[in-house]
């Protein structure tokens, strides 16, 4: 299989046939073997019935039906789990992502990239409710992760199968795919893609999602920097706070022994004890995190590194096998 197209679907009955026609018109001339994986995210309209009928007529269409609504990230994750194509392309079902931009993603992938993200340079959305929050979120995420992406909200992306196989997506983390890919050591880039106004239905996402994204950002930053070394963040602050408590305690002790000052009514004494207890707790959390991390990797046979390729000439030249 050359291509897997992953499409999360939630109450998009008016758009499904149009999306199928447009995907077919774009993909068939490429001469590639492809499949379209539609993840029905607990739709309450006739989306599943329409997808089921398409799958009956075209065996390249496969439908994954959720028992209830889990969110867009779950739709992407299910598609990744079932994909068999060498390249996995994600696209929204609302027709705002233009399937005609798929060849541009594939051309860029042919240059050796592992992930190619779409960049909606001319986005057809409301300024206050969609575009402005998106720009703020992109800037904040870039400052936090150090991965410069213009448009994390664009679902139109291309990925190599081995990259998405290593991704574990939760919450609203589908928008962090470029950051996760960079963390996995993938080579990624962006290409401008066409964006269209919504023709049918209404958007399922509003400004309220921004707060959930901010919480996921904290998770991403932790995983990016301290997944395999939790003691470094908890232990560092534990030493700082505990050390401050010890120093303050020594100073209060000196005042008591050499200056005769009473400590019974001093708030500083309570503060010193509190800092030492907090420092001990943070160090303990760091040690527990180290044990959990080791259990996570060792029980599943996972590695803390990822290999891009191995060069070994001991058995002859690569041309000789």
DSSP per-residue string spanning 210-270:
HHHHHHHHHHHHHHHHHTT-THHHHHHHHHHHHHHHHHHHHHHHHHHHHS----TT-HHHH
Confidence of residue 190 (pLDDT cuts 50, 70, 90): very high
Q: Where are the domains of the chain?
A: 3-225, 231-299
> Which pLDDT tens digit goes with each residue over 215-260?
777 777 776 667 777 888 888 889 999 999 999 989 888 888 888 7
How far is residue 285's CA from residue 300's CA, in Å, rounded to a whole number?
Answer: 23
156 closest CA partner among 191, 131, 129, 188: 191
> Which pLDDT tens digit goes with each residue over 142-187?
777 778 888 888 889 999 999 998 888 877 778 788 888 888 888 9
Q: What pLDDT is recorded for position 142?
A: 79
Q: Does residue 199 sit in helix, strand or coil?
A: coil
Architecture of domain 3-225 in this structure: Alpha-Beta Complex (3.90)
Two structure tokens written together for 169? 């997506």
State how far the alpha carbon of 79 is from the alpha carbons of 21, 138, 162, 198, 203, in Å: 20, 25, 14, 23, 21
> Which pLDDT tens digit goes with each residue over 102-156?
999 999 999 999 999 998 888 876 666 667 777 777 787 777 777 888 888 888 9
Q: What pLDDT is recorded for position 319?
A: 52
């Amino acid at each position: 299989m050359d291509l897997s197209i992953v499409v999360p679907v939630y109450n998009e009955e008016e758009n499904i046939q149009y999306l199928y026609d447009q995907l077919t018109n774009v993909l068939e001339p490429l001469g590639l073997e492809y499949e379209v994986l539609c993840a029905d995210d607990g739709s309450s309209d006739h989306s599943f019935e329409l997808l089921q009928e398409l799958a009956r007529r075209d065996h390249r269409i496969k439908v994954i039906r959720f028992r209830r609504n889990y969110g867009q990230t779950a739709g992407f994750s299910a598609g990744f789990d079932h994909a068999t194509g060498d390249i996995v392309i994600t696209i929204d079902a609302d027709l705002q992502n233009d399937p005609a931009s798929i060849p541009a993603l594939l051309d860029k992938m042919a240059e050796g990239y592992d992930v190619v993200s779409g960049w909606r340079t001319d986005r057809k959305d409301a300024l206050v409710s969609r575009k402005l929050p998106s720009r703020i979120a992109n800037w904040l995420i870039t400052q936090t992760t150090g991965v410069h992406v213009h448009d994390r909200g664009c679902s139109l992306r291309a990925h190599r199968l081995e990259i998405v196989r290593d991704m574990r997506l939760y919450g609203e983390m589908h928008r962090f795919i470029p950051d996760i890919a960079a963390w996995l050591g993938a080579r990624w880039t962006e290409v401008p893609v066409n964006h269209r106004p919504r023709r049918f239905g209404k958007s399922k996402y509003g400004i309220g999602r921004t707060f959930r994204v901010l919480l996921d950002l904290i998770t991403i930053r932790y995983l990016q920097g301290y997944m395999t070394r939790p003691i470094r963040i908890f232990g560092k602050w534990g030493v700082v706070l505990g050390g401050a408590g010890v120093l303050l305690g020594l100073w209060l002790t000196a005042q008591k022994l050499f200056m005769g000052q009473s400590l019974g009514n001093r708030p500083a004494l309570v503060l010193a004890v509190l800092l030492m207890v907090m420092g001990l707790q943070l160090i303990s959390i760091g040690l527990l995190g180290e044990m959990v991390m080791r259990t996570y990797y060792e029980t599943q046979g996972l590695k803390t590194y990822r290999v891009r390729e191995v060069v070994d000439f001991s058995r002859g030249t690569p041309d000789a096998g």
